[in-house]
Amino acid sequence: MDKGTVGGLISAWAIVLISILIAPGASLAAFIDYPSLMMVVGGAIAAVLIAFPISTLFLVPKVFRKAIFPKVPEIGPVITQLVQFAEIARRDGILALESRSDQIDDPFILMGIQMAVDGTDSQLMESILRSEIEAVANRHKNGKAVFDTLNKYAPAFGMIGTLVGLIIMLGNMDDPAAIGPGMAVALLTTLYGAAVSNMVCAPIADKLAFYSKRELLVREIIIRGILSIQVGDNPRVLEQKLKTCLPAAERNTPAQQAA
């Protein structure tokens, strides 16, 4: 679980709610208006239906879950595993990796190792692996695009709801006592739109972009590692080459750091 995502979402809504509760003269009930909420949430969902195929809408819960429960492997363990495979291939031959396939959990690494063991041409193997990366990148792009669309249209429907509320209020100007409450209700849709956009959709879209970039980096490291294993590079050279993708503080082993 990504504790930062969960903690951030809870904190954002908690800060707003607490601010409302401690504000002098404020009432939480005054900030609840179901027609306004329907205008913002329903309108944003309708915009997504217009912009994307209906099947995409059903992916929203799955994409949202990925922001909270990411399945992106850590770079360090991936490098360690690739170096171990390079040592085995250099010592016992690349065919020896076939017996280690049951130890590989990452399907992308497994696919690359199997092609290397089968003697697939390096250019063809790289082309296949990069095609897989492009497919993953497109899936990530589509998932993020849904939240970008919600982020774009939620404030717009909030403004539409505000205008509708103002028109209704101006139509009842003969009752001065209703002007204040009517204005408050009209402004609630703008508040809802801004809240949905900035406290849910935009942060989730940014977090999906972060994890997508990290996963693509891991896969790029895997491609470099497998191609190096296939040509028989020295495991130590391979390790140093792959560790250039890590932050400087994470490049040394615990023993090296102690020294």
Backbone angles phi, psi at 24, to 5 degrees: -60, 130
User: Are residues 27 and 37 located together in one domain of the fold?
Assistant: no
Q: Are residues 195 and 100 in the same domain?
A: yes
Asked whether residue 120 is domain-assigned, the answer is: yes
- For the beta carbon of residue 89, count every other beta carbon within 10 angstroms: 24
Of 70, 215, 63, 203, which Cα lies nearest the Cα of 137? Answer: 215
CA 50 to chain centre: 23
Domain count, the chain: 2
Which of 114-118, 151-155, 243-247 has the largest mean confidence? 151-155
**Pair (19, 45) in one structural domain:** no
The answer to the question of residue 156 being in a domain is yes
Confirm whether 144 is domain-assigned: yes
Share of the chain above pLDDT 90, in %: 9
Over residues 238-242, mean pLDDT: 84
Pick left, alpha or beta for residue 153 (phi over 0 → left; psi -120 to 50 → alpha; otherwise beta).
alpha
Asked if residue 43 and residue 24 are part of one domain, the reply reads no
User: Number of helices (H) and strands (E), helices first, in the chain?
Assistant: 12, 0
Q: How many residues does the chain have?
A: 259
Residues 28 and 79 in one domain: no
Based on the domain organization, do 105 and 40 belong to the same domain? yes
For residue 157, the one-letter residue type is F
Same domain, 12 and 123: no
Q: Are residues 63 and 144 in the same domain?
A: yes
Domain assignment present for residue 128? The answer is yes
CB atoms within 10 A of CB 172: 11
Together in a domain, 27 and 51: no
Residue 183 lies in a domain: yes
**Same domain flag for 104 and 4:** no
Q: What long-range pairs does 18-24 form, CB within 8 A, spacing at least 24? A: none
**Domain carrying residue 81:** 33-252
Read off the pLDDT of residues 199-229 as tens digits, 9 standing for 90 and up.
Answer: 989 999 999 999 988 889 889 889 988 888 8
Structure tokens of 234? Answer: 């020295």
Amino acid at 153: Y
Question: Is 257 domain-assigned?
Answer: no
Q: Would residue 258 count as lying in a domain?
A: no
Tell me the C-alpha distance between 195 and 155, whole Å: 8
The yes-or-no verdict on residue 256 having pLDDT over 60 is no
- Asked if 61 and 26 sit in the same domain, the reply is no
Q: Does residue 181 carry a pLDDT above 70?
A: no
Are 72 and 207 contacting, i.e. CB atoms less than 8 angstroms apart? Answer: no
Judgement on whether residues 39 and 161 belong to the same structural domain of the protein: yes
Tokens of residue 252, six digits: 């040394």
